[in-house]
């Protein structure tokens, strides 16, 4: 399978895995699941979905494309791009245009656009020259992203992106 076809499949795969990861804490509410899956409906907590989905993709890609290098690095940068786009696009739309009312069509559209752009970035990174240290950096960055998300789950700053407007709480339910 060509890299282009794989990246198109990856867009759909990330979206579907994200939908599954969204509900893991609700189905299995415990300390372990609170570390890796969103514990509320805040904008910030949804970063766990992005990081988790992209990590799963990176592992599958690493197994499937054994000869391809810089996979972990490409996907962690792709996850960062996706998180940034979601924060920059969705946050103002949700807070100021939708006035904190959910609109699933808008939410999904923004998320699919962010995933698509991030996979285009990943595609280009995977075509670059291989630097072994980048894979190590990719693993370190995935760990850092999870750690930041975990810290903010338990100690959320009192900012709008950390607030769950549905349940009117910060952090854990």
One digit per residue, the tens of pLDDT, for the chain of length 173 reads 888 999 999 999 999 999 999 999 999 999 999 999 999 999 999 999 999 999 999 999 888 877 778 899 999 999 999 999 999 998 888 888 878 777 889 889 999 999 999 999 999 998 887 777 888 999 999 999 999 999 999 999 999 999 999 889 998 86
Rg (CA), the chain: 16
Largest Cα–Cα separation, the chain: 48
Report the candidate in 171, 17, 41 with the shortest Cα–Cα distance to residue 100. 41
Report the candidate in 82, 63, 61, 77 with the shortest Cα–Cα distance to residue 9. 61
C-beta atoms surrounding 124 within 10 Å: 11
Report the candidate in 86, 24, 17 with the shortest Cα–Cα distance to residue 54. 17
Q: Domain spans of the chain? A: 3-24+31-170
Instruction: Specify the pTM.
Output: 0.90
Quick one: pLDDT at residue 23? 95
Number of H helices, E strands in the chain: 8, 2
Separation of alpha carbons 110 and 86, rounded Å: 7
- Tell me the angle at which helices 47-64 and 3-21 cross, rounded to the nearest 10 degrees: 140
- Cα three-residue angle 27-57-139, rounded to 5 degrees: 100
Quick one: pLDDT at residue 62? 86
């Amino acid at each position: 399978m060509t890299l282009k076809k794989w990246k198109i499949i990856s867009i759909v795969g990330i979206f579907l895995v994200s939908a599954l990861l969204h509900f893991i804490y609700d189905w299995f509410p415990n300390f372990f699941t609170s570390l890796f899956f969103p514990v509320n409906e805040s904008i910030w907590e949804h970063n766990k979905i992005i990081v988790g989905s992209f990590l799963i993709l990176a592992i599958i890609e690493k197994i499937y494309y054994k000869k391809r290098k810089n996979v972990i690095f490409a996907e962690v940068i792709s996850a960062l791009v996706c998180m940034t786009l979601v924060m920059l696009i969705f946050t103002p739309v949700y807070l100021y245009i939708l006035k904190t009312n959910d609109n699933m069509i808008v939410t999904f559209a923004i998320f699919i656009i962010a995933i698509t752009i991030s996979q285009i970035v990943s595609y280009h990174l995977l075509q670059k020259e291989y630097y072994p240290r980048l894979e190590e950096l990719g693993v370190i960055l995935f760990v850092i992203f999870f750690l930041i998300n975990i810290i903010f789950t338990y100690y959320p700053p009192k900012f709008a992106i950390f607030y769950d407007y549905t349940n009117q709480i910060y952090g854990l339910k």
